Structure 1
Amino acid sequence: MIRTGNEYRESIRDGRQIWIDGEKVKDVTTHPMFKPVVDVRARIYDLAHEEHSRKVMTYADEETGEANAIANRLPKTQQDWKDKRAAVELVQREAGGVVTRVGDETIGEMWSLYDGQDVLNEVDPRFSENIRRHIARTIKGDPFHISANTDPKGDRSKAPQDQDPDMLLHVVKETDSGIVVRGAKYETAAAYANQAFTKPTIANWGNDKLSDYAVGFVVDLGSPGLKFISRNGFAGRAPAADYPLANRVDEVESLVVFDNVEIPWEDVLFYRHTKAAAFIRSTLHRYSALPFVQRTLHLADLMIGSALWNVKQTGLEKQQAVQEKLAQLACYREGINAHLTAAIANAEASPGGLLMPNQSLLYTGRVFALSQLPAMMHTARELCGGQICITPDSATFNDPEVSPWLEKFYTINDNWVAEDRRRLLAFARDLLNSDYAGHRLTFQLFAQSPPFAQLGAVYRNFDWSGPLDLVKDAANLSEKVNGSL
């Protein structure tokens, strides 16, 4: 059954070992650096029950009639994707900022493996059965599901066997019950999620067909032997009045240590066969890239809104130079939107019988959204003006000795008083200039894969035959010319 926010909170009070900011966390749901984002995830669960939002967040199971989350529904029609986009948009608006791992992005990675059941059957038919069961369980059980990709890696000039083997997650032994794994993964939201689809990063297998590092599984994040060593959170460092995004939507990453963790056989999705591991690496984002790019669209809307409110407050919206920069942001925003819309309109049947977004349009849209993001953030900074980096904090605005001066110099007219001006500048600062803003920019760059891998996905999915045939005919090239790449 679909869960409530409080049921989710109870599910992560399981005694897991978490460290952050030099302390061991007693309750992840109440710790000041985790509580805001836990509350956002809980809010998503509650939206599925509330009258005004449940039709956007849920659908009725065709067989049982039970309400399930739109996010977890296997995509089979264009309407399914449109429904998913509507749910993501609602979540972003409710959160008041961009939230990624607490939404629905990573469940799509499981669908990629669902498409690879033929590959899994070559390895072991049990693994194909396991992925089908896990997807069904996720649909009905409604867990907070995340992804685990990146390892510490160590010295990347060496094979993992030639250094500390734990630098890449690997299997150390088999038991009657399952496999035992050691190593570590960096995972966003792991400290407050229920389960993680764990699979290898790009590994140096050479020509090996078998490897203890080629392993993929779903891990219960309450399992014995897991340790969560989290980065210092942004929430609570400074007042929410001055840093509203950092205090509301910071998704905390953790180094998750697997200290001889046993994974039951029924949770193993592939093991040892490098062919299966290579398949999932090459198709990992064929679904999950769409909600990821959509979140970048929401970030673009936040930048446009911040910049436009600023020029409206200061009376600059009619200047041509200002309008040109706003138009640049609008072109960026609509470029992302066009890729998303076209990827759904031109969706393709997947090998597993699902409907996947048009792969070429989706991956080129991801490259467009992320490669242009730094420049667009700088354009938004220009439009917001230098005051976003020099405005005093809220406590100073409230100081009785200096507040009259700040009221004088930050009040623009009867419509735009000092407090509104301060709030907009604080929001824009947190969106574009703060530690949180820098973190978000880096996260967007690497969250799914580094730029070279994103371009590699474009190369593998673009239809090169069209341009080749076009020029072959236009230039009257020999029929013997091979048009394949």
Structure 2
Amino acid sequence: MIRTGEQYRDSIRGNREVYVNGEKVKDVTTHPQFKPLVDVRARIYDMQHETAHREVMTVTQDGEVNALGNALPYSQEDWWAKRRATDHMMNEIGGVVTRVGDETVGEMWSLYDGQDVLNEVDPQFSKNIENHIFRVLKEDPFHVSANTDPKGDRSKAPQDQDPDMLLHVVKETDAGIVVRGAKYETAAAYANQAFTKPTIANWGNAEMSDYAVGFICDLNSPNLKFICRTGFAGRADPRDYPLANKFDEVDTIVIFDNVLIPWENVLFYRHTKAATFIRATLHRYSAFAFVQRNLKVADMMIGAALFNVRQTGLENQQAVQEKLAKLAVYREGINAHLTAAITLGETSPAGLMMPNQSLLYTGRVHACSQLHEMTHIARELCGGQICVTPDAASFEAPETKPWLEKYYSINDEWVADDRRKLLAFARDMLNSDYAGHRLTFQLFAQSPPFAHLAAVYRNFDWDGPLAFVKDSADLSDRVMGGKTLAAGDSAISKWYSTDIKSDASRTAAE
């Protein structure tokens, strides 16, 4: 059943070893670095109970009300509902937050699709993943995902250096496996559990490896240590940095100092094929939630830039309109990929509805590869004042207030205080330490660009273009390597010509 915000806060209080700025944190729910995000996550839990939000954010299954983001997707409508819920959540909290659970639970669904692979190792592992998927649905934990290791010297195998550079199993017991190493994970210090898995396949050619392990880690487990980066919250007046003080998601290196993982939480172990499978399919579902957040970031950039040019009377200039149009093209490109990925959804090996994989991954490339360019266009439209405007205290001090009101008031609609708020918002979104961190964070949260392109390569329908050229050039079937595809056999043509999709779906696609 869905939890309340206070139940969530209670679940992360206790004996965790959390460190930030060299000090041990007594309570992550009240510490100034963590409290803003804990409050946001608690607010999302509470929204699920409130009349104004309950219908869009929950789903009733078998008589129980569950968080919609945790529910397995079986249809296109399930994905539309998830998209509506995410938009509604971010509109209500007033910003973009990445790690709240809905964006990482999809990684578990990828393993659900790979049950045949897991059964090769041990049928119990396949049963474990099924149990955990439904446990997430029923118990509504704050579920995150642990990927990146410290790695060490990548030219060496992990066995040829400090073995703890990659997380690995050091012992098997009747109760479970004992693991050592470290993982970087955003939000781990204030989440409930993490899907922990290998990030790179440098365990060599061995079929069996102590480094090829994946499990669910209860983040209240003994022998875990959380060493967090310094956050942006609390560094300056929230009026000057409204985003950094509310939406900075704290990244953590989680130290596994001989941590026991019960067997029922082990999803695969000593099986490199399973580890390779999960790396190849990790973002099969979760990429949708990440790319949707890029869409909301685009909306934030457009809104801030458009307000700025309108208040200064520059909207009618052609050069300004062209820059706004570029932001709009970027935004609608993301929107189109997400919409098409749902409309042309595919059935997964486990019978789930996957967003169309080629369209989802190409949409991710579009969203991430152009983000830095769009950020700079938004900077240009907001102008140099986002880096030179005085702080809120100066707008209130008796000696300086009259002058700043004089020079920052434009007309009756845009008085100095509103203009200061807009410029502070734009500065924090585009120019601050927090803004730079968020831009770089894409390389961690959504994986590096080479991985994006590798995913496109694996999922694009290459046969369609090849068949079209074969037919147009009158080439023999030999060039298709024995395949007899014709140009009309492309994935899109097959989809459009079948009766599987409803007329409504086709109309939406058209």
Which has the larger displacement, 440-449 or 335-344? 440-449
Aligned partner letter, 2:394: T
Q: For residue 404 of structure 1, what is the aligned residue in structure 2? A: 402
Q: For residue 420 of structure 1, what is the aligned residue in structure 2? A: 418
Q: For residue 298 of structure 1, what is the aligned residue in structure 2? A: 296
Q: For residue 283 of structure 2, what is the aligned residue in structure 1? A: 285
State the Cα distance separating 1:117 from its structure 2 match.
0.3
| 1:428-473 Cα shifts (integer Å, max 9, x gaps) | 0000000000000011233121100110000000000011111111
| 1:265-292 Cα shifts (integer Å, max 9, x gaps) | 0000000000000000000000000010
Gaps of 5+ in 1: none
State the Cα distance separating 1:483 from its structure 2 match.
5.2
| 1:184-209 Cα shifts (integer Å, max 9, x gaps) | 00000000000000000112133210
Contact persistence 2:144–2:193 (CA under 8 A):
yes
**Which among 157, 160, 169 is matched to residue 159 of structure 1?**
157
Q: For residue 197 of structure 2, what is the aligned residue in structure 1? A: 199
Q: For residue 452 of structure 1, what is the aligned residue in structure 2? A: 450
Aligned partner letter, 2:130: R
For 1:95 and 1:19, how far apart are their aligned partners in 2?
27
Aligned partner letter, 1:148: A
Structure 1 length-normalised TM: 0.98
For 1:334 and 1:352, how far apart are their aligned partners in 2?
32
Is 1:274 aligned with 2:272? yes
Is 1:356 aligned with 2:354? yes
**Which among 382, 385, 388 is matched to residue 386 of structure 2?**
388
State the Cα distance separating 1:102 from its structure 2 match.
1.6
Contact persistence 1:4–1:42 (CA under 8 A):
yes
Q: For residue 48 of structure 1, what is the aligned residue in structure 2? A: 48
Structure 2 length-normalised TM: 0.94
Contact persistence 1:224–1:261 (CA under 8 A):
yes
For 2:24 and 2:104, how far apart are their aligned partners in 1?
28
State the Cα distance separating 1:233 from its structure 2 match.
0.5
Aligned partner letter, 1:416: W
Which has the larger displacement, 208-217 or 309-318? 309-318
Which has the larger displacement, 179-188 or 12-21? 12-21
Is 1:482 aligned with 2:471? no
State the Cα distance separating 1:103 from its structure 2 match.
4.3
- Count of aligned pairs: 483
Q: For residue 28 of structure 2, what is the aligned residue in structure 1? A: 28
For 2:171 and 2:263, how far apart are their aligned partners in 1?
12
Shift in alpha-carbon separation, 1:44–1:230, aligned structure 2, 3 A: same
Shift in alpha-carbon separation, 1:484–1:337, aligned structure 2, 3 A: farther
Q: For residue 118 of structure 1, what is the aligned residue in structure 2? A: 116
State the Cα distance separating 1:391 from its structure 2 match.
0.4
Contact persistence 1:468–1:483 (CA under 8 A):
no
Q: For residue 326 of structure 2, what is the aligned residue in structure 1? A: 328
SS state at 2:255 partner: strand
Aligned partner letter, 1:243: Y
For 1:402 and 1:289, how far apart are their aligned partners in 2?
48
Q: For residue 186 of structure 2, what is the aligned residue in structure 1? A: 188
For 2:98 and 2:414, how far apart are their aligned partners in 1?
33
Aligned partner letter, 2:192: N
Q: For residue 499 of structure 2, what is the aligned residue in structure 1? A: none
For 1:103 and 1:135, how far apart are their aligned partners in 2?
13
Contact persistence 1:147–1:198 (CA under 8 A):
yes
SS state at 1:476 partner: coil
State the Cα distance separating 1:15 from its structure 2 match.
1.1
Q: For residue 80 of structure 1, what is the aligned residue in structure 2? A: 78
For 1:16 and 1:205, how far apart are their aligned partners in 2?
31
Q: For residue 213 of structure 1, what is the aligned residue in structure 2? A: 211
For 2:19 and 2:104, how far apart are their aligned partners in 1?
24
Q: For residue 497 of structure 2, what is the aligned residue in structure 1? A: none
| 1:313-362 Cα shifts (integer Å, max 9, x gaps) | 11111111111111110010000000000000000000011000000000
Aligned partner letter, 1:453: A
Q: Which has a greater percent of helix?
A: 2
Q: For residue 501 of structure 2, what is the aligned residue in structure 1? A: none
Q: CA RMSD of the aligned region, Å?
A: 1.0
State the Cα distance separating 1:226 from its structure 2 match.
0.2
Shift in alpha-carbon separation, 1:368–1:158, aligned structure 2, 3 A: same
Aligned partner letter, 1:13: R
State the Cα distance separating 1:2 from its structure 2 match.
0.9
Q: For residue 126 of structure 2, what is the aligned residue in structure 1? A: 128
For 2:3 and 2:389, how far apart are their aligned partners in 1?
43
Is 1:94 aligned with 2:92? yes
Contact persistence 2:101–2:144 (CA under 8 A):
no
**Which among 263, 281, 305 is matched to residue 265 of structure 1?**
263
Q: For residue 168 of structure 2, what is the aligned residue in structure 1? A: 170
For 1:10 and 1:479, how far apart are their aligned partners in 2?
65
Contact persistence 1:465–1:484 (CA under 8 A):
no
Contact persistence 2:158–2:203 (CA under 8 A):
no
Shift in alpha-carbon separation, 1:34–1:484, aligned structure 2, 3 A: farther
**Which among 226, 244, 254 is matched to residue 228 of structure 1?**
226
For 2:317 and 2:481, how far apart are their aligned partners in 1?
51
Aligned partner letter, 2:44: I
State the Cα distance separating 1:480 from its structure 2 match.
1.6
For 1:99 and 1:181, how far apart are their aligned partners in 2?
31
| 1:207-247 Cα shifts (integer Å, max 9, x gaps) | 21000000000000000000000000100000100000000
Aligned partner letter, 1:348: E
Aligned partner letter, 2:15: G
Which has the larger displacement, 14-23 or 145-154? 14-23
Contact persistence 2:157–2:204 (CA under 8 A):
no
Aligned partner letter, 2:22: G
For 1:170 and 1:333, how far apart are their aligned partners in 2?
41
Contact persistence 2:101–2:143 (CA under 8 A):
no
User: Which has the bigger relative contact order, CA under 8 A and spacing at least 6?
Assistant: 1
**Which among 372, 375, 387 is matched to residue 374 of structure 1?**
372
For 1:367 and 1:252, how far apart are their aligned partners in 2?
25
Contact persistence 1:235–1:248 (CA under 8 A):
yes
Contact persistence 1:95–1:249 (CA under 8 A):
no
Aligned partner letter, 1:257: I
Gaps of 5+ in 2: 484-510
Contact persistence 1:81–1:344 (CA under 8 A):
yes
State the Cα distance separating 1:479 from its structure 2 match.
2.6
Which has the larger displacement, 390-399 or 147-156? 390-399
For 2:285 and 2:209, how far apart are their aligned partners in 1?
27
Aligned partner letter, 1:211: S
Contact persistence 1:123–1:273 (CA under 8 A):
yes
Q: For residue 9 of structure 2, what is the aligned residue in structure 1? A: 9
State the Cα distance separating 1:484 from its structure 2 match.
8.8
Aligned partner letter, 1:347: G
Contact persistence 1:388–1:426 (CA under 8 A):
yes
Aligned partner letter, 2:217: V
State the Cα distance separating 1:398 from its structure 2 match.
1.2
Contact persistence 2:188–2:254 (CA under 8 A):
yes
Contact persistence 1:41–1:103 (CA under 8 A):
no
For 1:269 and 1:222, how far apart are their aligned partners in 2?
19
